[in-house]
Amino acid sequence: MALLLALPWLVVPGSTLALEWLSLREGGTNTVLQWHIATCLCEMQHESLKKPACAAAYDISVTLSRYCRYLVAFLPELLPDHDMDTGAIFCEVLQEANVLLAGVASTPERFHVLKSGRVQKKMGTILTSGVTLGELLIEKISEPTQRWMVLKNIWELVVISVAPSGDAKHHVERLARGGEFITHLWALLSHAGVLDQQA
């Protein structure tokens, strides 16, 4: 997460959004899940707006967010944190979300539940931090195009930051079977010497 740690704040045209206190100093799994939850909240709000001006940034953000969630859930060995820790963290967040959203089917209802005070009762959880981050993004960057550009930039940084996993063995094994997107990034970063510079 070295690249992400070097980002103490984020500058958006017309405003400065200080995010240092949230997510950027956490481990890889916490960062991925908090930003994924924040992105989901922004996506839920976006569905009601239907603004095509930011379609590319929106698509990139949502796709990379979902891909990183997939890695956390199904291929944690390709991420920097220990795969057992990643699995435990993911299960904890999933269980909390399932309890909170039980019986809530529609996206507008989920958005309302997440934005309501029910989430705030459990301070300090990854779900709470992700929702808080999503609300902060929606509140501080009211222009959807700017918000999705910020999220696109963050997800690009997150993917590049988690690619250099501490255990090359898992990436090499994946490459032998065709590889994952993150594995190909790992290979490119390795070939470019970026991984050597981070060591």
Q: Which residue has the higher pLDDT, 52 or 128?
A: 128
Is 90 exceeded by the pLDDT of residue 141? Answer: no
Residues 153 and 178 in one domain: no
Give the pLDDT confidence score for residue 7 in this predicted structure.
46
Residue 8 within a domain: no
Per the DSSP assignment, residues forming a β-bridge with 17 are: 10
Question: Which among 19-23, 25-29, 52-56, 173-177 has the top mean pLDDT?
Answer: 173-177
- Helix, coil or strand: residue 116: coil
Q: Which domain holds residue 31?
A: 22-162
Per the DSSP assignment, residues forming a β-bridge with 15 are: 12
Q: What share of the chain is helix, strand, coil (3-state, %, to 5)?
A: 70, 5, 25
Mean pLDDT, to the nearest integer, of 54-58?
87
Residues 116 and 33 in one domain: yes
Is residue 37 within 8 Å of 115, Cβ to Cβ?
Answer: no
Give the pLDDT confidence score for residue 50 in this predicted structure.
62
Residues 104 and 184 in one domain: no
Q: Which residue has the higher pLDDT, 22 or 46?
A: 46
Residue 53 within a domain: yes
Residues 143 and 195 in one domain: no
Please tell me the distance from the alpha carbon of residue 110 to that of residue 24, in angstroms, as a whole number.
26
What's the pLDDT band for 46 if we cut at 50, 70, 90? confident
Share of the chain above pLDDT 70, in %: 75
Is 60 exceeded by the pLDDT of residue 134? Answer: yes
Give the pLDDT confidence score for residue 123 in this predicted structure.
63
Is 70 exceeded by the pLDDT of residue 118? Answer: no
Tell me how many domains the chain contains: 2
Give the pLDDT confidence score for residue 39 in this predicted structure.
94
Share of the chain above pLDDT 90, in %: 19
Is 70 exceeded by the pLDDT of residue 65? Answer: yes
Residues 61 and 157 in one domain: yes
Residues 95 and 185 in one domain: no
Residue 54 CB neighbours (<10 A): 20
Residues 59 and 152 in one domain: yes
Residues 141 and 181 in one domain: no
Per the DSSP assignment, residues forming a β-bridge with 118 are: none
Residues 174 and 158 in one domain: no
